[in-house]
Structure 1
Amino acid sequence: MIATLDEITVDELSGLDAQKVLVLTVNNRHARRVLAEFSAALGDERRVMPVPDIVPLSGWLRRLADQLSFMPQAQLASHTVDAFGAQLLWQRVIKEVEADRALLDVAQAAKLAADADRLLDDWRIQVPDQGLTVDYQRFQLWRERYRSVLNEMDAEDSNLAYERIHAAICCGAMPAVVPVLVMAGFNEISPRLAAILEAQREQGVSILRLSQAGAPAQKVQRIAAPDPDTEWRYAALWAANRLREDPAGRYAIVAAQLEADVPLVHRYLRAALGVDQSGRAMPYNVAVARPLAEWAVVRAALAWLQVLSRYARKRPCEPAELGPALLAGACVGDASEAGGRAALDAYWRRQATVSVTATQFAASLDRHAPRLAAAWRDCLSAATEHSSAALVSDWAQQFRRMLHGLGFPGQGALGSHAFQALEAFDEALDRLGRLAPVTGPVSFSAAISLLRRLLRETPFQPQRDPAARLDVLGFLESEGGRWDGVWVLGLTDEVLPAVPRPNPFIPLAALRQAQAPRATPDRELQWAKTLYASLLACAPQVWLSHALYEGERQLRPSPCIAELPLTDYALSSPSSTPCTMDYLLDESGPALQSGSSTRGGIAVIDTQARNPLWAFVKYRLGARRLDAYADISDQNARGVLLHRAAELVWRILPDQQALTDLHQRDGVLAMLEEVVAQAADECLQDYGQALRELECRRAIRVMHTWLMRELQRAPFEVRDVEQRYEWQHGPLELSLRLDRIDCLHDGRLAVIDYKSGNGAIDPRPDWMRERPVNLQLPFYAAVLAQGNEQIAALVLARLHAREVEIKGLADGDFGMEGLSALSDWPDFATLSWEQLMAKWRETIQGLADEYASGYARNHSLRADDLQYCDVLPFLRLTEDIARVD
C-alpha cells in the first residue's frame, strides 16, 4: 500500500496548515530526523516556521487509546500492561500450561509467543485446519490462557489495545482528528495498519507519503578488505581523511553487526581520528544502546538495594555483594570517603572473608567511612521496618526513599550521560510500579530481582553529541538519514539478504501466504533491496565494503553489490611528523636501606628468582592486583583445614612411637575425628552443616592415609610444628614458617612441607635450575640450619583425597618412599650433600643481595614462572612478547 500513496516533499509539507497535518513516523528516531529537516529550512530570511505534529506510530496508538478511554462504549480495561509486563505474564502462563515440560526454555518461548501473537493480528494470518502443527496448537493453548488471565485482571497489552483501536476506527466510532496524514519512513504497512488508514481515508483524510530528502548517490564504490578487522580500519581511516579534508562535513559509517564490534570500533576510531587542536579526543557518535543496568549510576543503585535487601532480611552479606556497592559509591561521602570504602573492599579480599554480618558492616563503615555509616544505619532501620511483602508500586517508592537516604546519586556533579541514565532509571522505577497488576504482592528480594531484570532488558543510549561530525550506526538507524559521505561495511551475502527467521509457533505456509516479515527468503530479499536503495540515498558518495575472509572461512559479497566493479582503494594514515625516540634501560631501583621492613618472608627470595621486577614491584612498591572475592568452597580453606589438622595431630603425638601405640589401640580414627572437628571450628566457620560434614569426612580420610604412611617410616620424633624462623642478611630481614621438622633416628633432621592442591609436587625442575624457586625447604636447609644442625631430608608431602605421596631429596634411606638421592638428579649427581647446601646457600644469598641492591630486571627463566604473577600488567609481558631467558 505504501508505494501507492501520493508523495509530498518537506517543502510542500511546510506550506500546509501545520494544525491540520499529522506526520506519522516509523519510530522516534525518524521523528527526530523529520523535525531536523524542517529545521534545515530555517535561515536568515526565515527564522520561525510552524511545524506539524510529528509522532511515531507507537505514540500515535497511545494517543488514540487515550481518546478511546473517554468513550463510554469503548469498555476499556482498567490496566495496560507494557511489553515487559506482558513477557512476565506470558512466562507465567507457559509455566502453568507446560508444568510437565522441564526442558522448555520458558523465557525464549515467551518472547516467541508474544511475537507470534502480534504477527497473527498485524498480518491477519489465517491457519487452515489442514495446516495445523503441534507447536501452533500448543501456542493456541498458551494464547487462550494468556488472554483469559488478562481478562481476569481487567487488563490489556499493547496488541489488544491496538486491536481495540483498529475496531473503533474501522466501525467509525473514532472520528478522524486531522484532514492530512503523512506517512514517513515506512517501507511497508501491515494489513492491520492498512485497514486503519483506509478507514481514515473513507472519513475524508488525505493519506500521503513523505518523499526522501536525498537523491541516489552520484558515486558508489565497492571495496574488498582481507578480513573484518581490516575492513573496520579502512572505514576509520576513511572517516579521518574525510573530516580532515572537510571539517564542516557530516559523515557516517554504517555497519551490519555494530553491536558485536563496538570495542573494535572505538579502538580504530580513536587511533584514526586522534585529537583536536586543544588536545581532546575527536568526538564521534556510536549508535549502540546498552542495557540500562550496565550504566555506572544504575549499577550503583542496584548494588546498594541488593545489600539493603540482604540485611533487612537479617541475613549476612557476601563481600562480592558489598564490594560493588562500596566501589560504585553514589552515596554520602561519595568522593571524600572513596579511599576508605576501597580499603574495606581490599581488606575483605585479602582476608578471604566469606560473609559479613550487618553489625560487622556497620562497624567497618564507622572506621573507614563514618559519614556513610550514619546514613547507612538510618536507611537500614527504615528498610527493616518495611521489608514485608508489598505491591511493586509501593516498592518503587520505597526504593526511591532508600536511595535518597543513602545520598544517591552522590554529591558530585553528574556528566551528561550519567544524568540521562539517572532519568532513565527513574522512568524504569515508574515502569516497575505499573507492573503491580501482573506481579501482585512480592517480597523485598523479589522486587529487586524484578527491577534488575527490567533494567537488563531496557536498552539505553544517550543523546548524540551535537558537536560530532561522524556517526557510527546500524542498518536500521541509518534509514532516512542524510550525510555528505557514507561508508557501509559488512555487506556479505549472509547479511544482505539476511537468513530468514520465521516464528516457529506459526506454520510456515501461513506465514508465506501472509507475506509476513522475516518468514521466507523472498521476503528477506525484498527487504534487502529496499534497505540497499535506502543506503544509496543517504549521501552523494557511498563506499560499500565487504571482507573476503573471516578466519579461514571465505566470505562472498552481497548480491546487491556483487555486480559493482572493485575499486583499488589505498587509504593513507593521518600525516604526522616522526619524533626521535630515546631509549633508557632502567633495571635498578634504589638500594634497600638498613632498618627498612620487607614483608613477604621467603616469598621475597622466591619471587626475585622468578622475575626481579616482579619482586621489586610487589615488595618494594607494595603493588599487587586485588584478590578475588572468597568463595565458601574455596580450595584454600580446604588446605588450611588440613594444615591445621596435621599441626594438631603432631602436637598431641610427640613421635612415631606414640602414633604406633595409638594405632595398636585402634584410637587413630577417634583422635582424627576430634582433631578435625577442632580444626573445622577454626577454619570452616562460614560453611553450612552439610558442607562442613563433607569436608571433615574428607580431611579424616586424607589424614588417616597419611598417618598410615608415617607408620612405615624409620623411627622419628617431631621437633617443631609450625615454627617461625627469622633471617637477616644485610638490610634484609625475612621470616619463614615451616610446617614440621622431624628428628631422625641418626640425629639429623627432616624438614617437611605439606601440599594440599591438585598440582604436581615434584621439586626436581624447581631446585635444579640456575635460579631455584619454591625455596622454603632449601632455604632452611642451606641457610637457617647451620652449626650443629644437620639436615638429611627435604620432604614435600601431598595430602589429597586422590593420592597421598612424598617427593623430595634425602641423604640416606629413612623409609620414606618417593624421596630421591642426589645421584638420581643429573645436576646434583657429582655433588655431596654438603656441597649442595653450600651451592644453595650461595645462590640464596646472591638473590638476597640482588633484591637489597634494587636489581629489578624484567626477565624470567621459564614462561610458567609468571603463571601466578599478581603484578603482570605492570611487567607489560604478553604471550606473544615475553622476555624469557
Structure 2
Amino acid sequence: MLTLSPVNCPSDSIFYMPDSPALILCSTARLARSLRLHHDRRQHASGLSAWQPLPTLTLKQWLDDVTEQAILSGEVDVATAPQGVLSELQERMLWEQVIEEALANDNAAALFDVPGMAQAAMEAHRLMFEWQLQIPPGGHTEESRQFLSWREHFVQRCRQSGWLEPVRYMAWQLDCLERGQLPLPASMAFAGFDRLGPQEQRLQHLLQQRGVALSNYATLLPQPGQAQHAMLETQEAECRAAVAWVAQQLNDNPQARLGLVVPELGKLRTRLAALLDEVLHPVTVRPGLVEADRAYDFSLGLPLNTQPVVHAALALLRIFWQQRIEQQDFSVLLLNPYWSASLGEADARAQLDSRMRQWLPQTVSMMRLLRLIERLQEGETPLPISQLLQDLRAGWAVREAQPRRQLPSLWAAAFEQLLAALQWPGERSISSHEFQAQRAFSRSLQALARLDVFGDTLNGMQALQRLGELCREQIFQPEVSGDPPVQVMGMLEGAAAPLDALWVMGMNDHVWPPPPRPNPLIPATVQRAAGVPNADSAVQTAFARILHQRLLLTAPLIVFSSALKDGERQLRASPILSDIPVFDGDWAKAQTLAEQLAHGEHAALQVLDDHMAPAVGEGEHVSGGTGLLKAQAICPAWAYYQYRLGARELKAPVNGLEPAERGTLVHGVLQHFWQGRDLAYLQALDTEELNAALAEAAQQALQDFAAERDETLSPAFCQLEQERLIKLVSAWLAFEKTREVDFTVLDCERDTKVMIEGVEIRLVLDRIDQLPDGRVLIMDYKTGQKPDIRNWAESRITEPQLPVYAAFSLDDGEVAAVSFAMVRTEEHAFSGIAGEEILPALMTLDDRKARDIFDAERFADWHTLLDHWRESLQAIARELKSGEAAVRVADPMQLRYCEVLPLLRLPERQLQFERLQARQLGARA
C-alpha cells in the first residue's frame, strides 16, 4: 500500500497514477470535468473509438453518493441519520433568526447588519468545529462572547429539529466511514488539493486504515519550468500584455495549451474577456455571434442574477410586489426582450415608454400604469399594445390571488405562475446559454421551496429577497463544447495536465500573498495559534509559497507579471517573486478592436465636408416655435436633428411637478386674473379683494391643469399649490402696481402662427398690454433663469422669442416695447427694451446701458431695431430652408438645453481639431 503524506507542497508530493484508478477525488467540479476531457482527448488521440470515462468526483459528491448507497443498503440505520442537511442559504437564514432573536430587545438593533453578522458567524462556527478551536475563559472579547451565545442557540435549534449544517454533516459521514459503514474503492487518487483541512486529513487517515491505496493524481511536471518576471506600467498594461502573449503563443503553435492565472479574477474577468474577444475573436462583436465558441474558458462563472434572462425574471417579479414602481425600472423592462410580445409590439412599447415619461410621475402604482396603457390603447391614435396589456392584467391577477404571507414553496409556485402569465422568457427562440440560465433559475426556485423546512411564512418581498440571494450566490458558467486551449483561472484552480505555457498576472505585494482576514468573532490569537487559514501573514505566506511551487510545475514556460503603479500610487512586486529573473525587454500590448481600426491604413478613405442637409421642399412642413429659430442660430445641426428629423431627448420623469409645470400654473393664474382688465382695476383692489381674486384665478388654473392629467390632484396638493401661487403672484402684482403708464390687458396666452420666409412658426404670446396711445407692449413671463438679451443686437439672434413677437406677430397695433416679466420669489423685474420709458427700470434705446449693446450708428431708433430683428430672423429662416446643418457653435454653454447633444459629437470634433493643429505644428517644425 502506498501511503499519502499530508505534506501539501506539490514538489514534495508523490506523483503516482494507478493504471486503472477506481476513483479520483478533485478539489473542484471544474477540475473533475477538465480531467475527464483530458483523458478523453488522450484516448481519442491513441486511436480508440470507445473507452471507459475517467472516474472523477469532488469530495462532497463522493461522500454524498456513498452515504446514500449505505442508507439504501441498510448499512447505515435511517434512524441514526440526520433528518435534514442545511444548505448554505438555510444555514445562514437560521443564523439570521438566532441573531435577530438575540437583538430583539436591543434599542440599536436596526443599526446592525444582520446578514453580514450571520455570514461571519457561519464561518466562525465552521472554523471552531473543524479546527477544534477553544477560546480560553480569559480571552473572551465582547464579540466572541456574543458569538458563543448565538452558537449555543444555533446548535440547540439544529438539535431540536434533527438538522446538521455542512461541516457537522461531513463529520457524521466520516464517523460512518470510521465505523466501516460506507463502501470504499480499492484505490483513490487526490487531484488539485493545495491545502488539506482537518477533515480532509482525517479522511485520508481513515482511508489508509481501511486499506485504500492512496495517491496524488499527476497533473504537474516533475521539474519546475523556466520562469521570468514581467514588470508592466499598470494593471491595464498587464491585461493587454497577457492577452497579446496568448495571441502570440497560439500564432506560433495553434495546438498549444495555455493558462492565464489571475488572483483578482472576479475584478478583471470582464476586462480580460473583452480583450480576448477583440484579439482572438473580433467577429463576436456581431450580436448573432455573441455565444460562439471561444478559444478560452474561464474557471470563474458569474452570479446567476447577472444573466439577462434571469435578471429580467427577477425584475418582472419585483415590480408586481413593490408598493410603488419606479418608472425607470419599468422603462427598462419595456425594452427587454424576455417577456410578452417583445418582437411584435417592440415599436409600440418604445412609444409607450415615451408617453409614460410625459404623463406619469417617477413612481407610480401598477393600477395607474394599467390605466394609462388602457387609455393609450383606446385613444384616437391607439398604440398596438394589446398583448402587453393582456399579459400585465394576467400577471396582476396572479399577484392579487396570493395571500399576504405563505410558505416559501407556495411563493415559488406563485412566481412560476406569474412569469408564465407574463410569457417569460419571451416570444423569440432562446439560445443555448439562455436555456441553461433558465434551467439554473428553476433550480433556484426549487431551493426557495426547500426553505419550508423552517416552517416560517414570508411575505412577497421577503420571498423575492431570498430568491434574489439564491440567484446571486449560484455561480453560473455556460457549458462549452470541446476543450478550449486557453484556460483563465484563479490562483486556487489547477490544470488537468501540464500546460505548454503559463502567464500569472497581478503579482503585487498588496495582492499576493493575500492579506490576512481573521474572523472577527474569534480572538485572533486563537486563530494564529491553530494556523487557521487567513489567520495571519505567516499562514498566508506559507500557503502562497505552496501555490507558487505548484505554478512552477504547471508549464515549462511561466511568466509572472506585476504592475508598477496604480494611478499615482507606486506598487511593489510580491516578495514571492524575489528569485524570479526580471525580463528587460518590451512586451507587446493587445489593442482593442476600435484601436486596431483607428490605427489601420486609411489611404483609401475619402474625406467629404458635407454639412448641407436636403433643402426644405415646397409644401414641406417644418414644425417648431421660436425654439426652431433659436436652435438654427446657435447650431444649425441642432435645428436639423431636432426639428426636421424629429429627434428628441426622452423626458426624465419626476415626482410632483416639474419646474415647467409650475411655470404653467403661474401663467394660468396671471391669465385668469388679467384677462380684459387694466392697471386701474389692480390699483383699486384692497388686500382682501386681491386675495379673493387670486384665489379664484389659482383655483381655475389648477382645474385647467388637472383636466389635462390622467390622475386627479389631491385636495392637500391643490391647497398647498394654491397658497404658493397666491403668495408668488401677489408679490408680483405688488411690483406691477408701481407702473406709471396706464395699460389695458388686450390678450393673454394668445396662440398664433406666423410665416417667416415660408417657415411656419407657432407662437404663444403670454400677454399683450395696450397703452393709452394705442401701441402695445408684448410681455413674456419667466419663472426661471433670466434670458440674456445682448444677442438681440447680433446677426444671429439666439433668444428670438420676443424679437419674433415684435417683428412678425401683431397686426393690431404698433409694438412699443418687449419685455420678459421675471415672476420669481427672489426677484421681480422687467428685462427687455423699449423705444421710450414705459416700464419700471426697463432699458430704452437712449440709456447708456442700452447703447453698450445697441450701437447708435446701427440702431438709430426703435424702428431700426425692429427692422434689424426682422432681417436677421428672415436670414436665419432662409438658412434653415436651404438645408444648412453644420455643427457650428460659438459658445458651447448655449447648448446646455440641447436635446440632441450626443448627435453633435462635439468631443470627436474637438479631437479632430487638436490633431489638425498638431499636424500643422509638425509641418512648420
Match of 2:444 among 428, 433, 438: 428
Residue identity in the other structure for 1:57? L
Matching of residue 847 in structure 1 with residue 847 in structure 2: no
Q: Is the contact made by 2:820 and 2:832 (CA closer than 8 Å) also made in structure 1?
A: yes
Aligned to 2:921: none
Aligned to 1:655: 678
Aligned to 1:93: 98
Distance 1:556 1:226 in 2: 11
Match of 2:148 among 121, 140, 161: 140
Aligned CA distance change for structure 1 residues 854 and 96 (closer, same or farther; 3 Å): farther
Aligned to 1:704: 730
Distance 2:303 2:672 in 1: 53
Which stretch has the larger CA shift, 195-204 or 635-644? 635-644
- Offset at residue 726 of structure 1 (A): 1.0
Distance 2:189 2:143 in 1: 40
SS at match of 1:719: strand
- Offset at residue 865 of structure 1 (A): 2.9
Aligned to 1:283: 294
- Offset at residue 271 of structure 1 (A): 4.2
Distance 2:653 2:488 in 1: 38
Aligned CA distance change for structure 1 residues 725 and 248 (closer, same or farther; 3 Å): farther
Residue identity in the other structure for 1:327? L
Aligned to 1:726: 753
Aligned CA distance change for structure 1 residues 345 and 44 (closer, same or farther; 3 Å): same
Aligned to 2:922: none
Aligned to 1:347: 355
Aligned CA distance change for structure 1 residues 783 and 392 (closer, same or farther; 3 Å): same
Give the RMSD, CA atoms, in angstroms: 3.6
Equivalent runs, 1:776-795 vs 2, <5 Å: 776-785=801-810, 788-795=813-820
Distance 1:634 1:438 in 2: 49
Aligned CA distance change for structure 1 residues 859 and 812 (closer, same or farther; 3 Å): same
Aligned to 2:341: 333
- Offset at residue 762 of structure 1 (A): 4.7
Q: Deviations over 1:616-674 (max 9, x none)?
A: 122222223433344446544444444444444434x8234333333x14244444455
Matching of residue 867 in structure 1 with residue 896 in structure 2: yes
Aligned CA distance change for structure 1 residues 856 and 148 (closer, same or farther; 3 Å): farther
Residue identity in the other structure for 2:759? L
Aligned to 1:28: 29
Distance 1:413 1:51 in 2: 34
Distance 2:139 2:469 in 1: 37
Match of 1:827 among 826, 845, 853: 853
Equivalent runs, 1:76-115 vs 2, <5 Å: 76-98=81-103, 99-101=106-108, 102-115=110-123
Aligned CA distance change for structure 1 residues 169 and 221 (closer, same or farther; 3 Å): same
- Offset at residue 811 of structure 1 (A): 4.5
Aligned CA distance change for structure 1 residues 294 and 73 (closer, same or farther; 3 Å): closer
Match of 1:568 among 585, 590, 596: 585
- Offset at residue 118 of structure 1 (A): 1.8
SS at match of 2:427: coil
Sequence identity of aligned pairs in percent?
Answer: 27
Aligned to 2:187: 180
Matching of residue 260 in structure 1 with residue 267 in structure 2: yes
Distance 1:179 1:700 in 2: 93
Equivalent runs, 1:132-281 vs 2, <5 Å: 132-151=140-159, 155-170=163-178, 172=179, 174-214=181-221, 218-273=225-280, 275=282
Match of 2:458 among 442, 466, 469: 442
Q: Is the contact made by 2:219 and 2:497 (CA closer than 8 Å) also made in structure 1?
A: no
Q: Is the contact made by 2:140 and 2:523 (CA closer than 8 Å) also made in structure 1?
A: yes
Aligned CA distance change for structure 1 residues 813 and 404 (closer, same or farther; 3 Å): same
Aligned CA distance change for structure 1 residues 614 and 815 (closer, same or farther; 3 Å): closer
- Offset at residue 879 of structure 1 (A): 8.4
Matching of residue 3 in structure 1 with residue 7 in structure 2: yes
Distance 1:375 1:501 in 2: 50
Match of 2:534 among 515, 518, 523: 518
Distance 1:694 1:211 in 2: 79
Q: Is the contact made by 1:285 and 1:464 (CA closer than 8 Å) also made in structure 2?
A: no
Q: Is the contact made by 2:70 and 2:183 (CA closer than 8 Å) also made in structure 1?
A: no
Aligned CA distance change for structure 1 residues 835 and 437 (closer, same or farther; 3 Å): farther
Aligned CA distance change for structure 1 residues 739 and 788 (closer, same or farther; 3 Å): closer
Aligned CA distance change for structure 1 residues 247 and 203 (closer, same or farther; 3 Å): closer
Distance 1:465 1:692 in 2: 65
Aligned to 1:610: 634
- Offset at residue 262 of structure 1 (A): 4.5
Aligned to 2:918: none
Match of 1:302 among 292, 298, 314: 314
- Offset at residue 217 of structure 1 (A): 5.6
Distance 1:353 1:797 in 2: 28
Distance 2:254 2:772 in 1: 89
- Offset at residue 176 of structure 1 (A): 4.6
- Offset at residue 855 of structure 1 (A): 0.9
Q: Is the contact made by 1:738 and 1:752 (CA closer than 8 Å) also made in structure 2?
A: yes
Residue identity in the other structure for 1:799? R
- Offset at residue 792 of structure 1 (A): 1.3
**How many matched pairs?**
870
Q: Is the contact made by 1:862 and 1:884 (CA closer than 8 Å) also made in structure 2?
A: no
Distance 1:421 1:608 in 2: 51
Which stretch has the larger CA shift, 52-61 or 610-619? 52-61
- Offset at residue 695 of structure 1 (A): 4.8
Equivalent runs, 1:54-73 vs 2, <5 Å: 54-63=56-65, 66=68, 71-72=76-77
Matching of residue 582 in structure 1 with residue 606 in structure 2: yes
Match of 1:551 among 542, 567, 577: 567
Which stretch has the larger CA shift, 244-253 or 723-732? 244-253
Distance 2:350 2:123 in 1: 46
- Offset at residue 588 of structure 1 (A): 0.7
Distance 1:362 1:767 in 2: 48
Aligned CA distance change for structure 1 residues 247 and 594 (closer, same or farther; 3 Å): same
Q: Is the contact made by 2:240 and 2:275 (CA closer than 8 Å) also made in structure 1?
A: yes
Q: 5+ residue gaps in structure 2? A: 915-925
Aligned to 1:412: 428
Aligned to 1:881: 910
SS at match of 2:906: coil
Q: Deviations over 1:400-428 (max 9, x none)?
A: 23322333222322122211111111111
SS at match of 2:515: coil
Distance 1:510 1:141 in 2: 18
Q: Is the contact made by 1:417 and 1:462 (CA closer than 8 Å) also made in structure 2?
A: yes
Aligned to 1:624: 648
Distance 2:472 2:342 in 1: 25
Q: Is the contact made by 1:231 and 1:489 (CA closer than 8 Å) also made in structure 2?
A: yes
Distance 1:708 1:416 in 2: 72
Q: Is the contact made by 1:255 and 1:490 (CA closer than 8 Å) also made in structure 2?
A: yes
- Offset at residue 290 of structure 1 (A): 3.1
Give TM-score, length-normalised by structure 2: 0.85
Q: Deviations over 1:367-404 (max 9, x none)?
A: 42334444554454344334553222112122223322
Distance 2:822 2:343 in 1: 50
Distance 2:671 2:68 in 1: 77
- Offset at residue 114 of structure 1 (A): 2.0
Equivalent runs, 1:627-646 vs 2, <5 Å: 627-632=651-656, 634-646=658-670
- Offset at residue 589 of structure 1 (A): 1.1
Aligned to 2:688: 666
Distance 1:637 1:454 in 2: 44
Distance 1:233 1:106 in 2: 41
Which stretch has the larger CA shift, 154-163 or 420-429? 154-163
Give TM-score, length-normalised by structure 1: 0.88
SS at match of 1:55: strand
Residue identity in the other structure for 1:704? S
Distance 1:276 1:323 in 2: 31
Q: Is the contact made by 2:241 and 2:589 (CA closer than 8 Å) also made in structure 1?
A: no
Distance 1:2 1:739 in 2: 89
SS at match of 2:813: coil
SS at match of 2:633: helix
Match of 2:780 among 734, 753, 759: 753
- Offset at residue 34 of structure 1 (A): 2.2
